[in-house]
A and B are shown apart, each in its own frame.
Chain A
Amino acid sequence: MKMTGSEILLESLKKEGVKHLFGYPGGVVLNIFDLLYDEKELQLILTRHEQGAVHAADGYARATGKVGVALVTSGPGATNTVTGIATAAMDSIPLVVITGQVPTMLIGNDAFQEADIVGITRPCTKYNFLVKNVNDLALTIKEAFHIANTGRPGPVLIDLPKDVTTSKAEFHWPDHVKIRSYNPTYEGNKYMITQAAHMIAKAKKPLIIAGGGVISSDAAKELREFAELTDLPVTMTMMGLGGFPGSHKLSLGMLGMHGTYYANKAVQDSDLLIAIGMRFDDRVTGKIDAFAPNAKIIHIDIDPTSIRKNVRVDLPIVGDVRRVLTVMNKVIHEEVKEPWAEVRKSWVKQIDVWKKERPMTYDRDADVIKPQYVIEKIHELTKGDAIIATEVGQNQMWAAQFYKYDKPRTWLSSGGLGTMGYGLPAAIGAQLAFPNKLVIDIAGDGSIQMNIQELATAVINKLPVKVAILNNRCLGMVRQWQELFFQERYSHTKLDDTVPDFVKVAEAYSAVGLRATKKSEVEPVLKEAFSVKRPVFMDFVIDCAEKVYPMVPAGAAIDQMLFREEEKKLEKKLKAVK
């Protein structure tokens, strides 16, 4: 039986197991939206902005591990997805973004709402397609999902001209897909893995750096087994949080620019780094020439381009993290028998010394609300069993530092691109996937205003996301840099009176608005927010001078850190770093 392109699209999505998509209608996708009107198996969540749709699909994908899907119209609808797509590309998140396009005969004519979205998104997608013939549509969709969710995952865009959505073809759903030029390497080289196991046995101060690859390959269990088997301390990149339990005794928390003192010290002192599913981003390495000066590096990653891109690597293993670690654990079990606890004793002891020397801390006795206090309270009240999304900036770093992520896929944050406005729509996507879970967006008063309109999406779809706004009335992270490195010249970072009344904003959207201005109000506000089954904005009026510490100044080695307790001596220390 012949079907229209629109019908083929929806049937194909169902064949791919899609239940939810996020989107926004428009002229050239009217035929698709018309079908969605009666559709029972596919639910489209109408966001209030196309960027929100892509972030929501991204949050859905991060929380579930499935491909997130967005559907938008041509021109501005399509260009509005670009930030969302780039966000997903930088963090290797599987998405399929379907954009409408003007009819094929008009392409290139500067038609109404025409944009060359395939050209625009070429550098920020893993791959993209322009479908010119309805007969290619089913295969294209199959290929798009395949590319998005295999190898190193990423966003794929399908541009669908209007006439393709109306013309008819036989629907053939391909059983499998084979792309001759796309063959990711999954199995790590056994010889290299064995070599790695022996290097680990010989090392005196080995350290695991776990990245987002641990989460995207579902390797948390294997990583834990690996670390426990050989008593290996683990630090995580921001993308890797949750890949190893944050409250585990072997965990050193996050490393890098705002990493823990002990993680950064351990990296710099280590004689063997085992980098797993991470890419040595500049926020992780600091000054590259001074990074881990004493360490050999074993690098496990599915993407060969990640290896030897930024740092020298002594032993590369290209492959899927989970499969490599499975083999590694087997090799260690069978071939490398060491009295691990004994071997690691002095190294673990040294790390404990660092942990005690400078633990993660803040002014716990302050009268004003400290943002870290809010985060710790959230962790305490949720018992760590929540999905946390964040915006970008100080709120994100505090959320990374003061909440312990024990499970993968409970931390949704824009790492690579650093996209303000990511958190609320991402939380909405996660809440849709897990209606009974507590989903909390930790936000700043700046970031939340970048996609604040999505509160309407949460309200109308009865998605009870909680937004904890750490309201310091300024663009805090930029302000922090201005304070430390630009002689307190606060150029365009004060929001002050222009920050809206978030309680009223919430109420205007028919959500719940709560406010805490005193420390004693924090817990009651959180408890109330978590008990209502509606979306809530919590306005925490925090100390605007609070900064994120420790901090590695840009261009410094990662053990050249600034600390809160040395705030008074900072000026001198900054000079020394330079």
Chain B
Amino acid sequence: MRHTISILVENKFGVLSRISGLFSGRGYNIESLSVGETIDPNVSTMTIVTSGDDWIVEQINKQLNKLIDVIKVVDMTELDHVEREMVMIKVSPRQEDKAEVLRIADIFRGRIVDSSPKTYTIEVTGNEKKIEAFVELLKPMGIKEFVRTGKIAISREGVKKP
């Protein structure tokens, strides 16, 4: 099963390598990863999407906690939470598809962040399913470039944290 794990870490050099080294060294996989500073510049949040059975995910959580630079580990999957990722897609549609591209972007509340005579660059945020649906619809339109962030997640308020 897939798990979204949120990790608070000391914002020091080498921390990313300690975390990614833990995953590669022990044979756990990382499906997506995103890192960013928190309000406190000494602390970063890493959001890692990984998969494994309960046995493995329990080990991943414990191994992460064991790392000296890790302050806190929360398995978001166990909580009610909101997940988001973002894509930016550069499409070069045929003349007759241009209106359709804009319509799809509109439906997904995408924003056109760049346009040229031949291309549109569309930014969309959402959960994984939404992003995937959006990409599927745009595929026939001619995707020229595609970038996607890792997932970030935050717990919903009023939910007791473990």
Taking Cβ atoms with an 8 Å cutoff, the residues of A that contact B are 118-119, 122-123, 126-127, 130, 147, 179-182, 303-305, 307-309
Contact = CB atoms under 8 A, between A and B. Distances in A.
A127 B68 contact: yes
A127 B14 CA distance: 11
B21 interface: yes
B14 A305 contact: no
A179 B55 CA distance: 29
Interface stretch (B59-67, B81-89, B93-101, B118-126): B59-67
A148 to B, nearest CB: 11
Interface of B: 9-10, 14, 17-18, 21, 25, 55, 58-59, 62-63, 65-66, 68-71
Given A123-B25, A309-B59, A182 B68 contact: yes
Contacts, number: 35
A373 to B, nearest CB: 43
A92 to B, nearest CB: 12
Nearest to A119: B17
A242 B69 CA distance: 34
Given A126-B68, A305-B63, A181 B10 contact: yes
A485 to B, nearest CB: 26
A119 B14 CA distance: 8
Contact of B68 (A130, A179, A304, A305): A179
A308 B62 CA distance: 10
A557 to B, nearest CB: 21
A118 B59 contact: no
B14, B59, B66, B70 — which one has the most chain A CB atoms within 10 A of its CB? B66
Given A122-B14, A180-B71, 14 more contacts: A118-B14, A119-B14, A119-B17, A126-B68, A147-B68, A179-B68, A181-B10, A181-B69, A304-B66, A305-B63, A305-B66, A307-B62, A308-B58, A309-B59
A122 B71 contact: no
Contacts of A308: 55, 58-59
Nearest to B13: A130
The 7 A-B pairs with the shortest beta carbon distances in the complex, nearest first, are A181-B71, A305-B62, A127-B68, A304-B62, A182-B68, A123-B25, A305-B63
13 contacts: A119-B14, A119-B17, A122-B17, A123-B25, A126-B68, A181-B10, A181-B69, A181-B71, A304-B62, A304-B66, A305-B62, A305-B66, A307-B62
A510 to B, nearest CB: 44
Contact of B59 (A126, A127, A305): A305
Main secondary structure of the interface of B (DSSP, over half): helix
A179 B10 CA distance: 10
A280 to B, nearest CB: 13
Nearest to A305: B62
A180 B65 CA distance: 12
Contact of B66 (A122, A179, A180, A303): A303
Contacts of A304: 62, 65-66
Contacts of B25: 123
A179 B63 CA distance: 18
A210 B33 CA distance: 40
A127 B65 CA distance: 13
B70 A122 contact: no
A372 to B, nearest CB: 38
A86 to B, nearest CB: 12
Contacts of A127: 68
Nearest to A179: B68
Nearest to A318: B62
Nearest to A181: B71
B119 to A, nearest CB: 39
A181 B17 contact: no
A308 B10 CA distance: 27
Nearest to B64: A305
B94 to A, nearest CB: 49
B68 A181 contact: yes
A444 B10 CA distance: 46
Contacts of B21: 122-123
Nearest to A182: B68
A127 to B, nearest CB: 5
A118 B10 CA distance: 17
Nearest to A127: B68
A308 B55 CA distance: 8
A181 B58 contact: no
A127 B67 CA distance: 8
A282 to B, nearest CB: 15
B76 to A, nearest CB: 20
A427 B121 CA distance: 68
Which one of A123, A126, A181, A308 has the greatest number of beta carbons of chain B within 10 Å?
A181
B66 to A, nearest CB: 5
A307 to B, nearest CB: 8
A147 B9 CA distance: 17
Counting chain B CB atoms within 10 Å of each CB, the highest count among A123, A127, A305 belongs to A305
Nearest to A128: B14
B18 A122 contact: yes
A307 B65 CA distance: 14
A560 to B, nearest CB: 26
Contacts of A307: 62
